[in-house]
Amino acid sequence: MSTDSRSRDTSDPRFAALPTRPGKIIAIHLSYASRADQRGRRPAAPSYFFKPSSSVAGTGSTIERPEGTELLAFEGEIALVIGTPGRRIPPADAWSHVGWVTAANDFGLYDLRANDKGSNVRSKGGDGYTPLGPALIDARAVDPAGLRLRTWVNGALVQDDTSAGLIFPLTQLVADLSQHFTLETGDVILTGTPAGSSVVQPGDVVEVEVDAPSAGLSTGSLVTHVVQGSGGFDAEVGSLPHVDDTQRAEAWGSREAAGLPEPAPALTPELRAKLEAVPVAGLSGQLRKRGLDNVTVDGVRPMHPGVKLVGTARTLRFVPGREDLFQSHGGGYNAQKRAFDAVGEGEVIVIEARGESGSGTLGDILALRAHARGAAGIVTDGGVRDYEAVAAVGIPVYSRGAHPAVLGRKHVPWDVDVAIGCGGTTIEPGDIIVGDDDGVIVIPPGIAEEVADAALAQEEVDAWIADRIREGHKVDGLFPMNAEWRARYDAERES
């Protein structure tokens, strides 16, 4: 256990484990690679929210799940307690400003996220929602990259990770926060939770421990008892708790853990087979009949003629190149890299490049990554670098052609999984993308089955008409069919 001897104010039992009541508690939204992989998104930079000091509790405390709610979730975390105040602290000096390390549990009530998601004021600010302790480890005695975090629920180990698994090192968090405000003695930084966070029920016991195995130091077990609260919320004062399956899946950690069935895919194998059998021109005609004209991705051509593209959209947005923005958003694990790392099997990466073909929007390395992930293809209304190497990868690619320049000449990678404009049409994540030698078309998922069936039926009609034309019949009355030809067609189909 820690033997830190610096004086502490123990006048309030909630803060007995701390040097003083914290002036600020700053928490990070997403920081562990394991948690990011679970959520399917990895931030390029840390983002934060505040928790009130009134939410602090000690070991052995209770936390109430309010009446009428269901999604109280634990998050075991490493907590940093500032010892030496600082402003604009360089990363190399950041650890010297950390006085102590302790265990934390960043509880959250997902039922209250709807109206202030991001700020987490109500969902994470309740009394008892930030247990800390029970002991402090002297930060001078440990390596910030060598801390271990473990969480148990009712004696079962549910979280086991180390600070080496962080996307953003502990020193980066200290330095980053000090850019914006002075870190003062006693301030607490909650450094995020790894995979394994989930929902707890009244009667459950949650324990969190942080230790430094190489130094033989531990915070001891931070114990919290979950109880059922008797008080609800007043609709006349504020918004009421609300949950849906998305919140349930995030609170429990997955749809499976929440007992939810996996949603039916918009693009089933049967629908995919239909769309592969229908030309884009036929789909375009059916969409036009339904009032949808602006659904073609104009100006792009296939890298592999004769190869059909069918998949669901995974979007990536570029904004016009600007040197300062490329410096802040173009390097590191930027939006472009995140998109290619996140694309799933059967998905199409669709890139908004504003029709600007004066630089590449991907090259062979990213094409290889998409291919390895099982992506169905790539569509960009910009250029492609390493054109022959990309072609050799074999993944279907539609673009405005080859260009040798790198991304930064014209573009800044900006965002992923948002509505974009590509080739003059709007594409939302999850839209169905179909491409062939005629071009690329976008189909709203809700009408894809109907459109595919209608297009297949029209293909049969068109094939029959083509046979009649080959027999020498004139086009007039046959294309489109008048009543006489329609009757003949129907009779032949019945027979």
pLDDT digits (tens, 9 = 90+) for 92-146: 999 999 999 999 999 999 999 988 878 999 999 999 999 999 999 999 999 999 9
Structural domain tally of the chain? 2
CATH number, domain of 111, equals: 3.90.850.10
Query: Is 42 a residue whose pLDDT tops 90?
Result: no
Query: Is 412 a residue whose pLDDT tops 60?
Result: yes
Question: Do 303 and 229 share a structural domain?
Answer: no
| 3-state helix/strand/coil string of 410-436 | CEEEEEECCCEEECCEEECCCCEEEEE
Question: Do 203 and 54 share a structural domain?
Answer: yes
The percent of residues in the chain predicted with pLDDT above 70, rounded, is 98
Specify if 463 maps to a domain. no
Cα–Cα distance between 442 and 285 in angstroms, integer? 13
Question: Do 229 and 300 share a structural domain?
Answer: no
Specify if 193 maps to a domain. yes
Cβ proximity of 379 and 440 under 8 Å: yes
**What pLDDT band is residue 246 in, cutting at 50, 70 and 90?**
confident
Question: Do 363 and 241 share a structural domain?
Answer: no
DSSP-derived 3-state class of residue 12: coil
Question: Do 149 and 27 share a structural domain?
Answer: yes
Question: Do 240 and 302 share a structural domain?
Answer: no
Cα–Cα distance between 210 and 148 in angstroms, integer? 6
Query: Is 166 a residue whose pLDDT tops 60?
Result: yes
Q: What is the DSSP letter of 336?
A: H
Question: Do 300 and 179 share a structural domain?
Answer: no
Q: What is the pLDDT of residue 2?
A: 47
Question: Do 42 and 190 share a structural domain?
Answer: yes
- C-alpha distance from residue 130 to each of 72, 137, 155, 166, 330 (Å): 13, 18, 20, 21, 36
Let me know if 491 is exposed, middle or buried by CB neighbors in 10 A (0-12, 13-18, 19+): exposed
Going along 52-167, which residue ranges are E strands? 56-57, 61-65, 72-73, 76-82, 98-105, 108-109, 130-138, 148-153, 156-162
Specify if 431 maps to a domain. yes
Question: Do 95 and 174 share a structural domain?
Answer: yes
Query: Is 1 a residue whose pLDDT tops 50?
Result: no
Closest C-alpha to 35, from 25, 43, 27: 43
Cα–Cα distance between 333 and 270 in angstroms, integer? 37
Q: What is the pLDDT of residue 394?
A: 94
148-152, 234-238, 257-261, 432-436: segment of lowest average pLDDT: 234-238
Cα–Cα distance between 475 and 188 in angstroms, integer? 80
Read off the pLDDT of each residue in 41-51 and give the average, rounded to a whole number.
90
pLDDT in tens, 193-218: 999 999 999 999 999 999 999 999 99
Q: What is the mean pLDDT of the chain?
A: 93
pLDDT in tens, 322-364: 999 998 888 888 999 999 998 999 999 999 999 999 999 999 9
Q: What is the pLDDT of residue 38?
A: 83
Domain termination site, one of 231, 252, 273: 252
Domain termination site, one of 417, 443, 469: 443
- Residue 472 backbone zone (phi > 0: left; psi -120 to 50: alpha; other: beta): left
Q: Give the relative orientation of helices 448-470 and 269-277 as an angle to the nearest 10 degrees.
A: 30
Domain termination site, one of 409, 427, 443: 443
Closest C-alpha to 390, from 356, 313, 399: 399
DSSP-derived 3-state class of residue 460: helix
Question: Do 241 and 303 share a structural domain?
Answer: no
pLDDT in tens, 309-321: 999 999 999 999 9
**What pLDDT band is residue 4 in, cutting at 50, 70 and 90?**
very low
Cβ proximity of 440 and 423 under 8 Å: yes
Residue 157: which domain range?
13-252
Question: Do 212 and 124 share a structural domain?
Answer: yes
**What pLDDT band is residue 10 in, cutting at 50, 70 and 90?**
low
Query: Is 6 a residue whose pLDDT tops 70?
Result: no
Q: Phi/psi at 219 (nearest 5 deg)?
A: -80, -10
Cβ proximity of 51 and 23 under 8 Å: no
Which residue is associated with the tokens 């930084």?
A: 189
First to last CA, the chain: 87
CATH number, domain of 302, equals: 3.50.30.40
Cβ proximity of 34 and 161 under 8 Å: yes
- Residue 335 backbone zone (phi > 0: left; psi -120 to 50: alpha; other: beta): alpha
Q: What is the pLDDT of residue 413?
A: 94
